Amino acid sequence: MQDQDAKATGAPAEKIWLASYPPVVPAEIEPLRDTSLSQVLEASCKRHAARIAFTSMGRDMTYAELDRKSRAVAAWLQSIGLERGDRVAVMMPNLLQNPVAVYGILRAGFVVVNVNPLYTPRELEYQLNDSGAKAIFVLENFAHTVQQAAPKTKVKHIVVTAMGDMLGLKGHLVNFVVRKVKKMVPAWSLPGHIGFRAVLGRGASLPLSPSERGGNDIAFLQYTGGTTGVSKGAALTHANLIANRDQILLWLRACFIDRPQPEILRLVCALPLYHIFALTVNSLMGVSIGGHNVLIANPRDIPAFTKEMAKYRFHIFPGLNTLFNAMMNCPDFGRIDFSQMLLVLGGGMAVQRPVADRWFEKTGIAITEGYGLSETSPVATANRFDSNTFTGSIGLPLPSTDIAIRDELGRDLLAGEIGEICIRGPQVMAGYWQRPDETLRVMTEDGFFRSGDMGYMTPEGYTRIVDRKKDMILVSGFNVYPNEIEEVAAMLPGVLEAAAVGVADEHSGEAVKLFVVRKDPDLTEEAIRAHCAANLTNYKRPRHIEFRTELPKSPVGKILRKELRG
């Protein structure tokens, strides 16, 4: 428990969570041995040259090939006149070209700006201008967006790749089908652009100078809505990401307390590599340990994704609640072999207990929930990896991480009291790119990042999220958290997905509105109301219910409540 002095000063009196740590996990990470991510890549490629690093659409890329091709990209980038610390954007899904481009940018000594390929020209223009990116790698399917945005930015160098560019002979057929049969490539014109394969060819014969990047240098700008809604670039340093990798690897030790560690860990990479979750957990961690990532270009095609998963025996599967839920409704889900699965890691959004329970019934593997944000590289907390029980919490702070639950005045709250989750550790960003005012808004004087998430800590040190601060609904002076409403709705067998938002109400200030996607077409509004009445106190019950054929989601799969609010 915290003493009164700690409560007054806002400083955690003790790390109560350490008593709940797995016995093989230390309280702190060791001093960082690696100084840059390029150093991490080069060492791993040398050590694991013959291993498969990434697989995409049936094509394997070894670490030796990743080394050669990322080196070629790096050498080419250094040859076009960019200066130390310049930003280079990457706008493509999970294809082999993605890690080649990203690691090439890092090896050249530049900063990666990850871009959502589904951005509109307006959104892309904003991000390119805000970051000051001078070059961009883009899949041709989205080149028309770059065509509209680039003239209004500082981008001078555009590299365009086709989906089949790294698939060998098969790639010609893939490109033909994508362009001519499925017509997935809108017409585009980018005078002066260069093809990805041409970059590889030219770069292979060019010299590469050492990047000379250190731990405090920025490696990535990860754009996020943050806690105020304005898209900002979280400046993540090499040290931030290496520290988070080390924290995750220490936590991973718990998987092997009572079973041997496979020589090569195989990871499902269904989440997009431009998102911080997959970037760190799949790519950076996977590459560091010589792991094998199987890239899924379009996880929204659940039948195709499920068939791809059935081809391999995986060990680690990071995913989201919506993805797990959709997979279990696929007829081929039973074909997936979970016998070698060590860890199914849920993040990005709350994992609903009905989804977790159903997953465990079907697979025998519990979903292990973790938590983090772009600003924390991302992982801040996780449940124990040696447990096969879904806790409903976001777990314990990782080694070298402090969690404080604070009120609006910045004072620490006692166990069980709800406040804002604040995070301190070596994985916390350097700040928002060129936004010192926004950085000051979210960083405390004692180095904690204000997450914007509301939650509480148990006496055992486990943190439970109740909801986003901005999503909280105020009904007649009572706080209502959408996550709770949605989880109750998901308990009803006829509900496929649900989302709750607050709407204006003349009597109570706000009222709960529930949006539902039906699994059972005969599900009625009356049945939902009766179910909610049996499980929720009166002020939490939905006043309005609306059926939808689908809910708006981000490319990662998060349900977008702000769009439902209008």
Residue 374: pLDDT band with limits 50, 70, 90: very high
Same-domain check for residues 300 and 362: yes
Residue 13: pLDDT band with limits 50, 70, 90: low
Distance of CA 197 to the CA centre of its chain: 29
Residue 305 in domain: yes
- Calculate the average pLDDT of the chain: 94
Same-domain check for residues 344 and 401: yes
**At what angle are helices 97-108 and 37-47 packed, to 10 degrees?**
120
Same-domain check for residues 463 and 477: no
Distance of CA 70 to the CA centre of its chain: 23
pLDDT of residue 230: 62
pLDDT in tens, 244-291: 999 999 999 999 999 999 999 999 999 999 999 999 999 999 999 999
pLDDT in tens, 103-116: 999 999 999 999 98
Residue 58 in domain: no
Same-domain check for residues 373 and 447: yes
Same-domain check for residues 250 and 375: yes
pLDDT in tens, 279-333: 999 999 999 999 999 999 999 899 999 999 999 999 999 999 989 999 999 999 9
Residue 520 in domain: yes
Same-domain check for residues 196 and 336: no
Same-domain check for residues 73 and 166: yes
Name the burial class of residue 259, with classes exposed (0-12), middle (13-18) and buried (19+) by CB atoms within 10 angstroms of its CB.
Answer: exposed
**Domain of residue 344, residue span:** 4-31+241-468
Residue 301 in domain: yes
Are 15 and 33 within 8 A, CB to CB? no
pLDDT in tens, 137-167: 999 999 999 999 999 999 999 999 999 999 9
pLDDT in tens, 419-443: 999 999 999 999 999 999 999 999 9
Q: What is the total count of domains within the chain?
A: 3
At 386, which CATH number?
3.40.50.12780
Same-domain check for residues 412 and 522: no
How far lies 203's CA from each of 75, 88, 104, 163, 197, in Å? 5, 16, 10, 20, 10
Query: Rounded to an integer, what distance in angstroms lies between the CA atom of residue 141 and that of residue 117?
Result: 9
Average pLDDT over residues 357-376: 96
Is the pLDDT confidence value at 235 over 80? Answer: yes
How far lies 365's CA from each of 266, 345, 357, 439, 519, in Å? 16, 10, 10, 40, 24
- Which of 468, 488, 515 finishes a domain? 468
Residue 547 in domain: yes
pLDDT of residue 1: 33
Strand partners, 235: 221, 431
Residue whose entry in the numeric block shows the structure tokens 């509900």: 495
At 86, which CATH number?
3.40.50.980
Same-domain check for residues 246 and 392: yes
Average pLDDT over residues 503-516: 90
CA triple 112-52-557, angle to 5 deg: 50
Name the burial class of residue 152, with classes exposed (0-12), middle (13-18) and buried (19+) by CB atoms within 10 angstroms of its CB.
Answer: middle
Same-domain check for residues 532 and 459: no
Query: Rounded to an integer, what distance in angstroms lies between the CA atom of residue 495 and that of residue 504?
Result: 25
3-state secondary structure of 288: helix
Average pLDDT over residues 116-120: 89
- Which of 468, 501, 527 finishes a domain? 468
pLDDT of residue 382: 98
Is the pLDDT confidence value at 227 over 60? Answer: no
pLDDT in tens, 322-361: 899 999 999 999 999 999 999 999 998 789 999 999 999 9
pLDDT in tens, 450-508: 999 999 999 999 999 988 778 888 888 777 889 889 999 999 999 999 999 999 988 88
Same-domain check for residues 136 and 199: yes
Residue 94 in domain: yes
| Antiparallel, parallel or unpaired: β 87-91 and 135-139 | parallel
Residue 55 in domain: no
Is the pLDDT confidence value at 228 over 90? Answer: no
Are 164 and 198 within 8 A, CB to CB? no
Average pLDDT over residues 524-547: 94
CA dihedral 166→123→238→157, nearest 10 degrees, is 50
Are 71 and 45 within 8 A, CB to CB? no
pLDDT of residue 509: 82
Query: Rounded to an integer, what distance in angstroms lies between the CA atom of residue 282 and that of residue 316?
Result: 9
Query: Rounded to an integer, what distance in angstroms lies between the CA atom of residue 338 and that of residue 320?
Result: 17
- Which of 444, 468, 492 finishes a domain? 468
Same-domain check for residues 302 and 437: yes
Residue 37: pLDDT band with limits 50, 70, 90: very high
Is the pLDDT confidence value at 51 over 60? Answer: yes
pLDDT of residue 271: 93
Query: Rounded to an integer, what distance in angstroms lies between the CA atom of residue 206 and that of residue 192?
Result: 20
Residue 8: pLDDT band with limits 50, 70, 90: very low
At 533, which CATH number?
3.30.300.30
Residue 43 in domain: no
pLDDT in tens, 53-68: 999 999 999 999 999 9
